């Protein structure tokens, strides 16, 4: 039989896990993807150079990343409406 401490810890764990429903998870993921899309769009339109080690990342990669992130954000927001 569980002790009172174990029972209270279990109750706390259930409380902390409760608010993250599938709807909230989809909304949070969509928000993160939307932020990434806006940042990639800003990089692509401003022409900021990005270099990782000795490799220069071309601007077209930011356009692709922007469209992919925007699509994922749209899917996430759409899923959170249901």
SS3 content of the chain, % helix, strand, coil (to 5): 75, 5, 15
Asked if pLDDT for residue 34 goes beyond 60, the answer is yes
Confidence of residue 20 (pLDDT cuts 50, 70, 90): confident
Tokens of 53: 């080690």
Residue 4 CA to residue 7 CA, distance in Å, equals: 5
Are the beta carbons of 70 and 37 closer than 8 angstroms? yes
Q: What's the chain's average pLDDT?
A: 85
pLDDT at 17: 60
Asked if pLDDT for residue 10 goes beyond 80, the answer is no
The three-point CA angle 59-63-68 to 5° equals 140
């Amino acid at each position: 039989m569980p002790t009172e401490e174990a029972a209270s810890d279990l109750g706390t764990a259930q409380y902390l896990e409760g608010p993250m429903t599938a709807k909230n998870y989809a909304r949070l993921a969509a928000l993160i993807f939307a932020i990434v899309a806006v940042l990639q769009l800003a990089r692509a339109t401003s022409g900021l150079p990005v270099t990782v080690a000795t490799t220069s990342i071309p601007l077209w990669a930011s356009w692709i990343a922007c469209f992919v992130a925007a699509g994922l954000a749209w899917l996430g927001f759409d899923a959170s409406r249901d």
